[in-house]
Structure 1
Amino acid sequence: MKPVSAWLLTANSKLNDSSLPAVYEQHAVGYWLRVYLTGDSCWLVVSWPKGSRIGFRMAYAPNDALVLEQPATSGERITFRCSSLIGLFETVLELPGEGIPVIRLTTRLRPAAPLLFPYWPRDIVVLGAAGSDLLAEGNVRVSQVGTRSGQLYFSLTRPAAGSVFYLQNLTALSDYNQATETSAGDTVGGEWPEIGFALPPTQKNKPLEAGQQYIVSDAFIALSDEVPADEAAMARQYLDLLAAIYLRLPLPPTSYKEWPDTLKKGLADLQDSPGCWSQVDGHHYFNAYVCDYLTPSEIMVQLAILLPLLDYVEWNGDRLEVMKKIKAGLPPFYDEDLKTIMRWHPKALDKLNGEEEHKKPLVMDSWYLQHPMLNLSRLALKGDKAAEQLFLGSLEFVIKVARKFDYNWPVFYKMDTLEVIKAETQPGKGGEKDVPGLYAHVLLQAWELTGEKRYLAEAEKAALKLKGSGFEVFYQANNTAFSAGALLRLYKITKKEVYRELSYLCLASVFKNTRLWDCNYGYGKNFPSFFALFPLNDAPYTAAYEEEEVFCAFHDYLRHAEDVDILPSLRLLMAEYIRYLVDRAVFYYPPMLPKEMLAEKVKTGEVDAGLWIALEDLHDGWEKSGEVGQEVYGAGNAFGILPRHYMRIEKESFMICTDYPTYGFSPEKHRPAKFKLAGDGRLQSRLVIVKTDLKKLPAFEVRVDDIRVTGQEINHGHLAYIIPGNGRVTVNWK
């Protein structure tokens, strides 16, 4: 028998006592919900139709006996008040509604004295069948890592019952975290069978104040009677249960951000700041980080900036001389001996000191070859002949590498010998597991560019290597998102269901690495962080560059999915990620943040608090941000947002902006403007008529699904409208 703690052993024994009376019970959508008082704890026990049970602790007073008042019912909300020596607990149980059953449990504590909690037990007990002392068997598929979502996704396998998605709304705990100076990171997890949420232990002299009410738990629990039979079913269930909970979450408000103004400032600093540039062999190159003169120029950095700039100039018809500088510096990255582009500029290799594994002349990080190839292919498909030459000239080498590793890429390898330098991210974890999808994307681009079917066949071979990776398919956020787009395209081309399912797996892995809570404590009060995305599985911060590229990848996925039957939960989650990024990405720019929250010591280069170049890293509220550096290659933020969210109307003094992605807008069809929002109608989007000069705006008529909606004037004279997330919109003016 697996060892368990005293807390679990006694809780299991008490809840299995057949003589223990329920103080409340309710049958809801096939599940029995019963509340029990067991001395120092108050429990909600959920019974599955097949008999298995799980207990969720609602209140806990160590070494005490809770006294429960008569439950108070108001509609679908039942309130339980428990008094104890440590204070008054109040738990509100919200019953599930239509669709996937989702229960909400919100517990508040009003301490009777200044309180310290050196330890707190986890709040889930997996009980098994009624009348049996044997704990249920099961497996945890996803749990919180660092400051990601406070999530726990698990299945009960014996006795067979189903699955649970538990999400702790960590936003609600901000007052607790602020008072105790604790973090909400790593609070949801545990080892089976002791799982769930545990309050972070309080620090000495940082107590909860007597008489002040604190939320100590705000749990959303989605229930299913399905145990996923395979990887594809697991990904679908994860996304569906997450979306069901998302619809019940109290979502933070957003506001319109002046992205055109932000872009102007960022473009000026990108072009004119000396810290952004280096010169090599007569060419100008962007540094990876502001004032980073110790690292050689990298082709990935140049292309990661060039492509968003290209999006921008195609949108507004402008010409940027800086783009000529970037393009002129690309050919020197090509190695005539190896017949491929290289990561580092060959004339600056003397700067590589080998202090890190990848900082050696011929060492390649697997994704660092595929990513520039993807961007070169995009340029080539837009008619850039120089980019096409570099792309096609490197393609056979890239294919040779893929076949050498049997489409399973290590972390680092040598370009000349293909010797593996580092095989795995961690022992037993494998290499960069999303690179097969990124490679498949590159080969799909080659097929589209040339029409050669062998490239399509190569893309399929690589894509199938993603099978069996589970949630570990995620190595780096942008590459996993690009993989999802390639897989959807493969599905559309071949009609093979496996590719659509694998695209779901990639996207589920991306959403697993997001933060569905707002860090409103410490420095976190200075910037919104809801629905932020972490770049790596174990990264301790969110990052500007990966977020911007995932944002663009989601737009592309939705564009390809316009006429494809995909999971409704995916449309909902992708549109909402996009909406929140448009709201919060401006806070990656240091002028938007107070100087006292910026790191004094910077790993790479320098941080200029007045420069409109994004910080790489935003951290937990108790940590300063920008310690990695100011990320020049993350400059694409604004250049990605404007072309995708601002609709230009020729010869008019306004633009139309939405915070959701859209389908169907044509700038050539001036009046009326028509388009469809690409999200979910159960949620709302903001449409803004944006003034572009000092002229008075004309009179507007905005209709959604042929129903007229009214707007409200906001800052700078813009007009804002709130509309459903999948509405068909018509904007007319006089």
Structure 2
Amino acid sequence: MNALSPWAVVASTELANSSSTVFEHTADQFNFKVIVTSDSVWIQTEMPGGGNVAFRGAYSPGADLEFTKTEALGQGIALDISTPIGQQRIDIIIDQTEQSPVLRYTTRLTPAKDMMIPGWPRDILFNGKNDNPEQTEGKIHASQFGTRTGFLYLSQTKPKSASLLYLQNLTALSDYCQQTETSLGDTVGGEWPELGFSLPPSKKPLQTGKEVILSDALIAFSDENPDKESILSRLYLDLLARIYLLLPKPETEYQPWPDILDKGLKDLIESPGCWSQVGGHKYFNAYVSDYETPPEIMVQLAVLLPLVDYVEWSKKKLEVMNTIKEGLPAFYDEKLKTIMRWLPAAEDKLKGEEEQKVPKVMDSWYLHHPLLNLSRLAIKGDKIAKQLFLDSLDFAIKVARHFKYQWPVFYKMDTLEVIKAETAEGKGGEKDVAGIYAHVMLQAWELTKEKRYLNEAEKAAKSLSGHGFEIFYQANNTAFASGALLRLYKITGKELYLELSYLCLAAIFRNVQLWDCNYGYGKNFPKFFFLYPLNDAPYTAVYEEQEVFCAFHDYLKHAEGVDILPSVKLLVAEFIRFLIDRAVYYYPTMLPKDMLEENPKMGEIDPRLWIALEDLQDGWLKSGTVGQEVYGAGNVFGILPRHYLQIPGLPFLIYTDYPTSGFSAVKGKNIQFKVLGDDRLNCRLMLIKTAKKKIPEFNIQVKGQKEPLKAKPAPLGNLEYSIPGGSIITIMLHSN
């Protein structure tokens, strides 16, 4: 039993004795009462099965809280409050636009004096009989870590009651952080029964008379109390999408990706800092001007595959692709019969300053990622890639069976000795490697039609059960796993694989940042819907985000014809939409120089190069602390082919910031395609000029709508439209 804070002791006593209810509303099986105590305004929520939870909407230290005004807000109430620390206003709204209710309360303070905040109580208190918190028990399934979304996902188990997803809209608190020089990392958490958001202690004072938001909380409720992993992940995705629809979201902007690609391609090819030479072959460095680390096969392929996508789209030839391919066979070890992480001819450059920087030491996922990319090349007809892929498969299977489909972090390639078993004590190894291994095996099955590879994929997939949200080790691997599991479901019809696919997606969306850091250096770039590369990473990284972006496109492609969760369609499409807006800010050319790290861990940072930084940090920290990431260069080459549709003979490109499918165009006739995503949200459609000619006359029709869409002018003579997700679009060209 966890001890209570003084705030919780006083609150439980006052809630037990209070009869001052100023508002009451019932939604579905939940009853909400706004109760006033001497120092707080609470939203007492009665849940199914006898559960009871109180949300602290406003707080004033001491006992001098007085109402000055109340106002009805539809299914809610607004309260103006006079307190010694200043005037407060709390807006309380219960949304019932969909089946599950969402409670939202927003609190503003206009300080009476310049004021330091040394501490603040959390805003959730679970109550038992007679408002006794000690009589309750519950399970926290997932919560905020670092600067990810400020959220709690939990269920009350004593009494066995409901589940809820609590999300603090941290974007709204940016002004508080700017004034007080504080960060919003790790501000949502706590221990049962005292949970929720707590203001970070200030380093500088809030200013007299300047209104500031202290809280903007949204809580989605469900009468389910999940006792199975499959229900846990489905419910999380559904509740998150439910809140997401109500969450204030920043506006996105169109970024000129064709122009950005030209700049990035030029710097990638021509900058000496991007290249090293070994044994007569040129190889990409992992980081700009990092000549100390030997070439890695993952780095070469992580750039090559997006270039392949771009060349297939543009029909151009790039000699740099031949340069990369020529160096790949040198990564194969004839004795071990497998590709290696480090170029064998340069392994003697490794100095052992990190556990994996030792000859023949493998980071578990590093074996499978290059195999996955080789398989993609092989399926496209590349003979060298096919040979390297097929020749390495038996070794990969040997390793998988040796570790019983539960991979450690590091092991020796020649002896399979475990160098590091767990990511942290008691946390296990790289759990999602089983998923990327399953993906590799499915690729091998597709290429060869040998049943043994499909059997291996199923064995690996089944080992993913039971990990819950901890299934996530590295974002791109978890995303690849989700797609492999969806494919297995389509091949076998086994529901288990679809549920595990959802579990992977839930773990990914547990590691995003659904808020915009508008304080400190964060004011210089958007961060809404950032994805963190590792479950404990303090920063976001371009390479993992780019690969998840591509994996999500593949997921929606494979999901066509499958009745997947609407929440999945919505969240996946929205991640893609926001990435296209903000990914350009990984380029140091887009950022003020004073926010770039002068002494990165790897190589050097050249702010003139259109080569992305590995890392973007919290608002008070400089970015580029790891280095300028050459293997993150695939970002732009992945965006262009997936979001710009070409029409032969017409002087414009069709751009959407949602993914699309089924594109068809007949010269001089109608153009048609489907926009993916969910119809509860809209995305951007643009016609982008590619010549000096005006865009020709046409109508754009959304299937099911009577009137054609109306364009709004965009810069440079382009045209812009707003279209619903999940819709079929027809562009009807008029004959000349």
TM-score greater than 0.5 by the shorter chain: yes
Which residue of structure 2 aligns with residue 41 of structure 1? 40
Structure 2: distance between partners of 1:61 and 1:4 = 19
Q: Give 1:475 deviation, angstroms.
A: 0.2
Whether the 8 Å CA contact 2:125–2:133 is kept in 1: the answer is no
Q: CA deviation at 1:89?
A: 1.0
**1:377/1:387 contact within 8 Å kept:** yes
Equivalent in the alignment of 1:324: 322
The match for 1:275 among 273, 276, 280 is 273
- CA displacement 1:257-295 (0-9 Å, x = unmatched): 100000000000000000000001000100000001000
Correspondence for 1:493: 491
Gaps of 5+ in 1: none
Counterpart in the other structure of 1:407? 405
Q: 2:600: which partner in 1?
A: 602
The answer for the alignment partner of 2:550 in structure 1 is: 552
Contact 2:670 2:732 in 1 (8 A): yes
Instruction: Report the equivalent of 2:181.
Output: 181
Whether the 8 Å contact between 2:2 and 2:192 is mirrored in structure 1 is no
Give the residue type in structure 2 aligned to 1:495. Answer: G
| Alpha-carbon distance between aligned partners in 2 of 1:648 and 1:342, rounded to the nearest angstrom | 39
Q: CA deviation at 1:651?
A: 1.7
In structure 2, the CA distance between the partners of 1:315 and 1:15, relative to structure 1 (3 Å rule), is: same
Rounded Cα–Cα distance in structure 2 between residues aligned with 1:174 and 1:733: 47
Measured in 2, the distance between the counterparts of 1:251 and 1:195 equals 25
Deviation at 1:128, TM superposition (A): 2.6
Instruction: Provide the secondary structure at the position in 1 that maps to 2:562.
Output: coil
Query: How far 1:550 sits from its partner (Å)?
Result: 0.2
Are the structure 2 counterparts of residues 278 and 50 from structure 1 closer, same or farther at C-alpha, using a change threshold of 3 Å? same
Distance in structure 2 (CA, Å) of the matches to 1:419 and 1:444: 27
- Answer yes or no: is the 8 Å Cα contact 1:297–1:348 preserved in 2: yes
Distance 2:457 2:25 in 1: 53
- Whole-Å separation in 2 of the counterparts to 1:283 and 1:404: 35
Structure-1 separation of matches of 2:136 and 2:114: 38
Q: CA deviation at 1:75?
A: 2.1
The residue correspondences of 1:113-124 to structure 2 (distance < 5 A) are 113-124=113-124
Q: Which amino acid aligns with 1:141?
A: H
Q: Aligned to 1:306, which of 295, 304, 307?
A: 304
State whether residues 52 and 129 of structure 1, in contact with CA within 8 Å, keep that contact through their aligned partners in structure 2. Answer: no
Which residue is 1:153 aligned to?
Answer: 153
Equivalent-residue separation in structure 1 for 2:597 and 2:666 (angstroms): 47
Residue 349 (structure 2) pairs with residue 340 (structure 1): no
* Pairs within 5 Å for 1:211-226: 211-226=209-224
Q: Counterparts of 1:620-635 in structure 2 under 5 Å?
A: 620-635=618-633
Which residue in the other structure is 1:210 paired with?
208
Q: Who is 2:93 aligned against?
A: 94
For 2:225, the equivalent position in structure 1 comes to 227
Distance in 2 between residues matched to 1:449 and 1:546, nearest whole Å: 26
Aligned 1:723-734 pairs, distance under 5 A? 723-734=723-734
- Aligned residue for 1:193? 193
Question: Percent of counterpart pairs with the same letter?
Answer: 62
- 1:612 counterpart = 2:616: no
RMSD over aligned CA atoms reads 1.1
Q: Deviations over 1:110-142 (max 9, x none)?
A: 110011111111110011345656442101111
User: Partner residue of 1:84?
Assistant: 83
8 Å CA contact 2:12, 2:132 repeated in 1 = no
Equivalent residue runs for 1:627-646 within 5 Å: 627-646=625-644
How far 1:636 moved relative to its partner? 0.7
CA distance in 2, matches of 1:26, 1:394: 63
Q: What is aligned with 1:67? A: 66
Alpha-carbon shift at residue 700 of structure 1 (Å): 2.4
Query: Which residue among 644, 647, 653 is the counterpart of 2:645?
Result: 647
- SS of the residue corresponding to residue 709 of structure 1 reads coil
Q: Identify the range of structure 1 (48-57 vs 83-92) with the bigger mean alpha-carbon deviation.
A: 48-57
2:377 is matched with 379
Contact 2:173 2:215 (8 Å CA) reproduced: yes
Please give the alpha-carbon distance, in whole angstroms, between the structure 2 residues aligned to 1:263 and 1:614.
12
Deviations 1:401-445 (CA, angstroms, capped at 9, x unpaired): 000000000000000000000000000000000000000000000
Within 2, Cα distance between the matches of 1:225 and 1:77?
21
CA distance in 1, matches of 2:53, 2:21: 15
Partner of 2:714: 714
SS of the counterpart of 1:503?
Answer: helix
SS of 2:128's equivalent? strand
For 2:123, the aligned partner's letter is D
Q: Partner residue of 1:678? A: 676
Q: What is the distance in 1 between the residues matched to 2:490 and 2:566?
A: 18
- Residue identity matched to 1:62: P
1:264 aligns with 2:300: no
Provide, for residues 168-202 of structure 1, a one-character-per-residue CA deviation record: whole Å limited to 9, x for no partner: 00000011010001001110011112210000000
Q: Is the 8 A contact 2:296 2:343 kept in 1?
A: yes
Structure-1 residue corresponding to 2:479:
481
Instruction: List per-residue Cα deviations over 1:600-649 (Å, max 9, x = no partner).
Output: 11100001001000000000010010111000000011100010000011
Describe how 1:129-168 pairs up with structure 2 within 5 A.
129=129, 134-168=134-168
What corresponds to 1:395 in structure 2?
393
Name the TM-score, length of structure 2 as normaliser: 0.98
Query: Any residues of structure 2 matched to 1:13-28 within 5 Å, and which?
Result: 13-17=13-17, 20-28=19-27
For 2:6, the aligned partner's letter is A
Deviation of 1:98 after TM superposition, in Å, equals 2.5
5+ unaligned residues in a row in structure 2: which ranges?
none
SS in 1 for 2:664: coil
CA–CA distance in structure 2, aligned partners of residues 129 and 161 of structure 1? 14
